[in-house]
Amino acid sequence: MTDIQARLFAMADEGYKAFHSKLIPNIDSALVIGVRTPELRKYAREFEKTPVAADFLVSLPHKYYEENNLHAFIIERTEDFDIALAETERFLPFIDNWATCDMFMPKAFKREPERLLDSIYRWLGSGETYTVRYGVGCLMNLFLDKRFSPEYMEAVASVKSDEYYVNMMIAWYFATALAKQYDAAIPYLTNRRLPVWTHNKTIQKAVESSHIDAQTKAFLRGLRIKLKM
């Protein structure tokens, strides 16, 4: 692990570290090295072919933020579905921030997403912040287009959490759904099916989207719930 950390520190960018640390405030900035994502992905392509890569994947937890992201990028490149799923399952409990959670999606999942559904439903019910967030992200990224089914949207709406990073992802899901599956998504707002914070955050993100037309945005603004003082 010392050699891996040395390589990561050799790629460090202090300016990027200062900027990126502000985006993940729950992570101690001393544990952020400051490696830019393209450089880290390039290193992952190189590192996955080395004899120590397999040892790295089982050496959890990692110390540094970039070690977690390197881990994620190696999983992401896995072609075999069963291996990708097993490695993702092993890694999810150790994810401790939204950025690592959101940045990886194995090729195998994109190729055979239906095989992932049982695991997604299990992740949604796990109660673990970033495991739940990852499950919602999978439904957003893999099942809001031609594979969409209303039951997936209902599964997201049924998630109950007090965690900011879970509710933010739910809002992101519904904002994306308004752009891709409007008829299915809009009743969750008109009927106030979501918690107030998530409801209003969904509208905020939808209004900020370039994929939703001005007329729809005006309608959505009218659905905001005013908070009582």
Q: Encode pLDDT of 171-225 as tens digits.
A: 999 999 999 999 999 999 999 999 999 999 999 999 999 999 999 999 999 999 9
141-161 per-position pLDDT tens digit = 999 999 999 999 999 999 999
What's the rounded Cα separation, in Å, for the pair 11 and 157?
41
What length does the chain have?
229
Domain-ending residue, one of 68, 88, 111: 111
Q: State the residue for tokens 């939808």.
A: 206
Whether 179 and 206 share a structural domain: yes
Tokens (6 digits) for 195 = 């918690």
Q: 188 near 174, Cβ under 8 Å?
A: yes
Range of the domain at 196: 113-229
Whether 140 and 107 share a structural domain: no
Whether 6 and 106 share a structural domain: yes
- pTM value is 0.94
